[in-house]
Chain A
């Protein structure tokens, strides 16, 4: 019998797709830095985390539904899953802010779809991202391309977490600016090895000519 796959949090897919280093910081180094974004994110999640379920507008909704896939070694939760009349699950992911990080959110949704398919035996053709800011739903068709991409991503995340390595910072400052882990990650520090080398060379050399 083979070892069960190292279980990967669904959120790790989104983190990895945003930045592999962010994924390693959170899922391997267990770094959690609260900043405005995450604090607001938590507030937004309060309602969905309540675990309530019931019927809304005639549709059965499960909130904060535990998800898993043994086939892909995934685990996590869906903010909300609507069940259509024929039992087809329709996952909905709640997101802070605007729609810029589209791709990163989508992979997480596809991961949820993979879990729901294994759990219910039904094909999940579509899900949606709900944006708090605009209070708008954006439908995401779970296309074969997206599936393939996500499955590839799961393998990359697993390889990273199994390796125990820390990937270098991304080369996109715009991502770092929005990243809640900036303080721990210190992308500038990593990006400036030259400065560290120079300081290290001069560390033991006090400039005492000026001591008057």
Chain B
């Protein structure tokens, strides 16, 4: 199994990264702050104002190491890509599949089935962890409701009905988000319904940031296997929108995003002081908050989970790549179905 290479996240404002022998040097105002060996470094993700020397960039392209810039809040900005990338036959298969209504529907349903299964698991896991009987009952009821949507999904015959089932499930799931937050943390972290741009409470600020990191990993995984991240099956194509990366993200939101958010909140690893409240109601993770989240995210990626298809333990961080590959294999006609990632 491919080894999970480390991703270097650089969120230091004004950092400069350069090549020194076989190492990467991070300096701020010409002062050397860190030095890490290039070996084992699979990707460099820059958040905000970070510069990279041409030599480091060239070397990274040669090694197949990706370099991505995200805004400080995680929005994709740019990516540097080396010459060996993209297989036109695979992209052609992807475009043809997207044009075939039935195939597109089949793939969309698989992504959403993954999402519903994993969301259900988050609910059930929280139900097991909860000490409050009423909360337990509520969470289990929501999980059952998701199971019904999942079953109905099997018979969905149009994109609209998939969208309807997904939307309904998301509503039921997010209605329980506060229940999944420990009572003593609810004052600091109250989820007031999904708000994206900008997030209007701490929970939204946190999950939006996690989803952004995850989306970037999905996008990179798709690009690595040669799929076009912009042509989706479930998400409608729109200029500038990484629709396929958003599709792939669906099966990971709960496992990698929500569960991690809940852990960070419930263990008190994040507090109010890790967020900035802006005039007008926008809430954003601040510098210390971002550092905590990135570290936790990196740690989480090293944990392993049982993969349903491969039937072995795989590192969580490898999941987007493994799934992107399986999607590519499906699109090239190697296997009959695309199976999303779900854990038991």
Contacts and interface: CB of A to CB of B under 8 A. Distances in A.
Contact of B86 (A28, A30, A186, A197): A30
A63 B309 CA distance: 46
Contacts of A183: 1-2, 325
Contact of B84 (A32, A166, A203, A205): A32
A199 interface: yes
B140 interface: yes
B240 interface: no
B146 A166 contact: no
A188 B1 contact: no
B22 interface: no
B308 interface: yes
Contacts of B144: 208, 211
Interface in B34-66: 64
A29 to B, nearest CB: 5
Interface residues of B, number: 43
A196 B147 contact: no
Interface in A130-166: 164, 166
Given A29-B87, A208-B144, A166 B150 contact: no
Given A189-B326, A197-B337, A211-B143, A204 B309 contact: no
A28 B226 CA distance: 12
Given A200-B339, A206-B147, A30 B309 contact: no
Interface in A11-51: 28-34
B335 interface: yes
B140 A204 contact: no
Contact of B89 (A164, A192, A196): A164
Contacts of A184: 225, 325
B19 interface: no
A120 to B, nearest CB: 32
A117 B128 CA distance: 74
B151 A166 contact: no
Given A204-B113, A206-B147, A212-B140, A189 B335 contact: yes
Given A29-B89, A211-B124, A204 B150 contact: yes
B73 interface: no
Majority DSSP secondary structure for residues of A touching B: loop
Given A30-B86, A183-B1, A184-B325, A196 B64 contact: no
Interface residues of A, number: 29
Interface string B121-164: 00010010000000000001001101100110110000000000
A209 to B, nearest CB: 10
Contact of A206 (B86, B151, B308): B151
B133 to A, nearest CB: 12
B341 to A, nearest CB: 11
Interface string A171-212: 000000000000110101110110111011001111010011
B226 A30 contact: yes
A193 B154 contact: no
A205 B334 contact: no
Contacts of B147: 206, 208, 211
Contacts of B2: 33, 183
A174 B144 CA distance: 46
A194 to B, nearest CB: 11
Nearest to A30: B87
Contacts of A34: 64
* 3 A-B pairs with the lowest CB-CB distances in the bound complex, closest first: A204-B154, A206-B147, A200-B337
Interface of A: 28-34, 164, 166, 183-184, 186, 188-190, 192-193, 195-197, 199-200, 203-206, 208, 211-212
13 contacts: A29-B87, A30-B84, A30-B85, A34-B64, A166-B333, A184-B225, A193-B336, A196-B336, A197-B336, A197-B337, A206-B116, A206-B151, A208-B143
Given A205-B154, A206-B117, 19 more contacts: A29-B90, A31-B87, A164-B89, A166-B332, A184-B225, A188-B310, A189-B309, A189-B326, A193-B335, A193-B336, A195-B309, A197-B336, A197-B337, A203-B340, A204-B113, A206-B116, A206-B150, A208-B120, A211-B147
